[in-house]
Amino acid sequence: MTSTLRALKAKSASKAIQEKRQLDRRRELVCLTHQFLVDQGFFAAADQLQQDAGISLSKFEVADNMDLPIVFQHFLEYYEMRFGKLPKIMRKLDASEVSAKKALLRGTGNGNSNSNGNPAISAGPASGTGSSGPATTSTRRAAAGRKGELSLMGSSSSSLPEGARSTQDEMEISGHAVSSANRDQHGGNQALDEEAESSPADRLLRPLSQFLAGSSNETRELALTISRDIFTENPEVRWEDVVGLEDAKRLLHEAVVMPARYPDLFQGGLVSPWKGVLLFGPPGTGKTMLAKAVATECRTTFFNISASSIVSRYRGDSEKLIRILFELARYHAPSTIFLDEIDSIMGQRGGGGGGGAGEHEASRRMKTELLIQMDGLAKAEDAGIFVLAASNLPWELDHALLRRLEKRVRVELPCAAGRQRIFEKLLPADHRTQGIEYAALAARTDGYSCADLSLLCKEAAMYPIRRAMASLHAGAGDAAAAAPGKLAVGPVTRDDALSALQATRPSAHAASEQAYARWQESHGSS
């Protein structure tokens, strides 16, 4: 009896010790992360972490010779020594995992939460339950347990194997794109490309707090607005997502992507990189997609701004907004600024400001500011900034602006082959469709833009849904079919596609195609 009691007591004491260790380890992890965020200048995030974790980190400091990069570096070294390769730290999530994670981050997910509603931090070594491949408890314990060696190892990367060193370099140059150029120059091999595929391509931005330090409230607000509404996370559009437009792609590749990848080849003189490119053509032909593909390809920070929204939303502040937009682009360089619908602010006769002599003073100042900022792009310190503008009405553009958009690229309506590819992509020949005649559809959609074609396909896909709804209403569906999410929807048929064709008209006019062709002849690039 006594021995059973003793065993129970010992078990309870060991459990208490384990729990305390877990708690300590969590606190240490939070503390290390907090210090890392502070060191990197992510003050707002550090503050938020402190609030979320519910502990006052101002009472703690990480011990000497201890910080997250050092712990990480030691882990990498240990892992490579033990397993002969570097560990895979991040993996790409699929679409459903991305939405689950976003929901979790918004606080609506069902992920593990602690009693404060905070996501549970893995207990680490003390729990002894780590199971993520070879990097398990023992590895972590080894990394954490070598505190005494840390000062000897220091933070020098010279003792690291090549791969580990480059990982550290990537961390240190946060805020600067690890450009494809670097990778190409250091081997450019497939393994590195695969590595890029599986690790986040997104840029690690420099903390905004440094940019905002000492700035006025007004500047602060505009910079926050730009960061929130205009800066776009990695746009993730690849060249191959953009159907057709081979000439436009080739020109952009030459004018923008090559200089970003191989800056040494484009230094000064005759072959300095283009600073401004205009994409012109009918609506819905892929100008925005092309701009995003350029930003994805060059791994630049992407600022996507609709010029008409500057006029409508920031009227009084538009001049300052432009200035701060370029300052932020410089801060986060290399950057691509995409100015969509540029004609709405840079029309020859005072677009966006009321027109002619009566042009609004604020609008005139904004135009002047944009021209000044674009002039500044030629300076060496602005080397990493590139402006892409798009317009459906290039002939209305101010000549002063046109001079600064050195290259003008026409984005045309898709040809028959391009239209066919769009149909094949949007109505793929699988169980979702039946008997679609792609070539016939392509032949009958001359003059349609890609956006029109995508509307047409959407319309076609509605027919089977309408049929299913009608049969449901007619009581033809059984109880299972009526259950939400279980409605049986048939394939999109050839007739559905033809009916959708009847119901969808092209948005561009043949006359405007001729106008684009004429303007290309007088102003375009080839």
Annotated binding site: 281-288
Residues 44-63 that bind ligand ATP (CB under 6 A): none
Q: Which is nearer to ligand ATP, 340 or 496 (CB)?
A: 340
Minimum CB separation of residue 288 from ligand ATP in Å reads: 3
Q: What tokens were used for 333?
A: 């360089």
Q: Which is nearer to ligand ATP, 209 or 454 (CB)?
A: 454
* Tokens read off for 371: 């021209």
Compute the least distance from the CB of residue 102 to ligand ATP, in Å.
21
Whole-number Å distance between alpha carbons of 499 and 459: 9
Q: 354: Cβ–Cβ under 8 A, 6 or more apart, which residues?
A: 360, 363
User: Please, what is the minimum distance in Å from the beta carbon of residue 391 to ligand ATP?
Assistant: 8
Which residue has the CB atom at the shortest distance from ligand ATP?
286
Q: What angle do CA 403, 406, 407 make, to 5 degrees?
A: 135
Q: How far apart are CA 505 and CA 118, in angstroms?
A: 52
- Do 207 and 100 form a contact (C-beta atoms < 8 A)? no
* Contact between 419 and ligand ATP per CB under 6 A: no
- Residues in 383-412 that interact with ligand ATP by CB under 6 A: 390, 392
Q: Are 310 and 345 in contact (CB under 8 A)?
A: yes
Return the residues of window 103-122 that contact ligand ATP according to CB under 6 A. none
Q: How far is the CB of 466 from ligand ATP (least distance, A)?
A: 23
**Of the candidates 125, 244, 334, 384, which one interacts with ligand ATP according to CB under 6 A?**
244
Binding residues among 223-242 for ligand ATP as defined by CB under 6 A: 242
Q: Are 377 and 276 in contact (CB under 8 A)?
A: yes
Query: Toward ligand ATP, which CB reaches closer, 288 or 300?
Result: 288
Helical spans, DSSP H, in 427-478: 438-443, 450-473
Region near ligand ATP per CB under 6 A, out of 54-62, 102-110, 184-192, 447-455:
447-455
Which tokens hold the place of 109?
A: 């997910």
- Give least dist CB 339 to ligand ATP, A: 11
Q: How many residues does the chain have?
A: 526
Under the criterion CB under 6 A, does residue 454 sit at the interface with ligand ATP? yes
Q: How far is the CB of 307 from ligand ATP (least distance, A)?
A: 11
Would you say 245 or 295 has its CB closer to ligand ATP? 245
Name residues whose C-beta falls within 8 Å of residue 383's C-beta, 6 or more positions apart in sequence.
Answer: 263, 333
DSSP output for 216-270? -HHHHHHHHHIIIIIEES-----GGGS-S-HHHHHHHIIIIIHHHH-GGGG-SGG
Q: Would you tell me the crossing angle of helices 450-473 and 416-426 to the nearest 10 degrees?
A: 30
Is residue 491 a contact residue for ligand ATP (CB under 6 A)?
no
Pairing of strands 433-434, 492-493: parallel
Closest to ligand ATP by CB, 328 vs 389, is: 389
- Residue 504 as a binder of ligand ATP (CB under 6 A): the answer is no
Please give the Cα distance from 283 to 288 (Å, whole number): 10
CB atoms inside a 10 Å sphere around CB 367: 24
Query: In the complex, what is the shortest distance from the CB of residue 210 to ligand ATP, in angstroms, rounded to a whole number?
Result: 34
What's the closest the beta carbon of residue 417 comes to ligand ATP, in angstroms?
12
Query: Residues marked as binding for ATP?
Result: 281-288
Q: Give, as ranges, the residues between 249 and 288 that touch ligand ATP (CB under 6 A).
A: 283-288
Query: Rule CB under 6 A: which of 319-348 touch ligand ATP?
Result: 340
Pick from 298, 306, 194: which is nearest to 239 by CA? 298
325 vs 456, which CB is nearer to ligand ATP? 456
How many residues line the site for ligand ATP (CB under 6 A)?
Answer: 17
196 versus 257: smaller Cβ distance to ligand ATP:
257
Instruction: Report helix, strand or coil for 433.
Output: strand
- Minimum CB separation of residue 238 from ligand ATP in Å reads 11
Closest CA to 201 of 283, 302, 117: 302
Q: Between 53 and 251, whose beta carbon lies closer to ligand ATP?
A: 251
The order of strands in the sheet holding 407-410 is 231-232, 301-306, 335-340, 385-391, 276-280, 407-410
CA distance to 200, 242, 455, 500, per residue, from 459 (Å):
35, 21, 6, 6
Query: 71, 222, 450, 456: which one contacts ligand ATP (CB under 6 A)?
Result: 450
When binding is defined by CB under 6 A, the residue of 451, 462, 472, 489 that contacts ligand ATP is 451
Please identify, using beta-carbon distances, which residue of 243 and 294 lies nearer to ligand ATP: 243
User: Which residue in the set 70, 143, 243, 442 belongs to the binding site for ligand ATP (CB under 6 A)?
Assistant: 243
The answer to the question of residue 245 lying near ligand ATP (CB under 6 A) is yes
At its nearest, how many Å lie between ligand ATP and the CB of residue 283?
Answer: 3
Q: Applying CB under 6 A, which residues contact ligand ATP? A: 242-245, 283-289, 340, 390, 392, 450-451, 454
